[in-house]
Amino acid sequence: MKFEKILYTSSDVKKAIVDIFENSKGRRVAITAFVGSDAEAYLPYSDGIELLCWPKAGGTNPNTIRTLIKRGVKVSFVERLHIKIYWTEDKGVVITSANLSTNALGTGRLYEFGILVPSNKVDINMVLKQLKPNDDVEEKLRKLDKAHEQYRINNKWKPNNSSGQTYLNWYSLPMRRKWKVGYCGEEGDFSKNSKEISKKIYSIDEPTRFISCSERTYFKGDWILTFFIEKEKPVLINWVFVDYVSKTGKKDKEYDKDNPFQAVQAVPDNINPPPFKIDKRFTKAFTTVLKNIGVEKFIKNSPIKSDKLIEPLHENY
């Protein structure tokens, strides 16, 4: 490649990135601040690509990172990264303002600019040398999960169409988002303390849902798969995202000496998407797994870690 090309629009930038990554037969490196939803669409033949990005809530989507890792992308995290370079060993390099996201390269209507130059114009190893990537991607990804969810809540983001993934989709991802399971003995009401916290912090008079629990069973940021039992079968299977855990007062009619706390979801369901959706196939699989374990045994040992259910659920899904 012996020429340079000015990329005046986001469409020009996207085309150039896709072209060089699609046609390259050598090493490929993508360095970008943020990786948004559906970013995999802009990295053709993903296997082997080196990707460095900033694990910042609201910018980098943790589930997109999981999808890219599944496709063979070698991901590293770099704090405070703001560089945007898309480099190939043999087909050129794009230096641009655009992150790896649909906002920048798709339908986000952001104004982006870039330049396409020969590969030898950029010493990629010199660029990488100044960065300090974190190799513990899984640990950073767990932290990003919770920070990203809290960011959605604080900014009242609504999930996009890709957020309602099935259990099978979730199961297929590496470094999956963790969740817990909790049995609900009977329906009740929010404690006075729970309502006061919801009103004070979230300006919500009536929180969404809760599950009673003992101390240090659930924590802020947990996803809990909750259910009731009716005629030896699980019913009202639902997700609870823990916005906070509050103590139930002894004068509350909801007070339970064995479970004197409430893990509360204050915000509505349409703000924060769960790990996967509860569809008919999942409900059937969950019912079968509980039957095989034994409902009474399950209740007695509740809460049970989801790690023990993942494989049986997959086998019956």
Domains of the chain: 5-144 (3.30.870.10), 166-316 (no CATH)
Local confidence pLDDT in tens for the 317 residues of the chain: 556 899 999 989 999 999 999 999 999 999 999 999 878 889 989 999 999 999 999 899 998 999 999 999 999 999 999 999 999 999 999 999 999 998 888 776 789 999 999 999 999 999 999 998 877 899 999 999 988 888 877 776 665 544 578 999 999 999 998 899 999 988 889 999 999 999 888 878 889 999 999 999 999 889 999 999 998 899 999 999 998 999 998 888 888 888 999 999 988 776 677 899 999 999 999 999 999 999 888 888 777 778 889 999 999 99
SS3 content of the chain, % helix, strand, coil (to 5): 35, 20, 45
Q: What φ, ψ does residue 276 adopt, rounded to 5°? A: -160, 165
User: Could you count the other beta carbons within 10 Å of the beta carbon of residue 241?
Assistant: 25
Quick check: helix, strand or coil at residue 182? strand
State the pLDDT at residue 161. Answer: 44
**C-beta separation of 271 from 285 below 8 A:** no
Q: Is the CB of residue 114 less than 8 Å from the CB of residue 13?
A: yes
pLDDT of residue 157: 65
Q: Which two tokens stand for residue 106?
A: 């798709």
What backbone torsions phi and psi does residue 302 show, to the nearest 5 degrees? -70, 140
> Tell me, what amino acid is at 294?
G
Cβ proximity of 57 and 151 under 8 Å: yes
**Helix axis angle, 137-155 relative to 62-70, nearest 10°?**
140
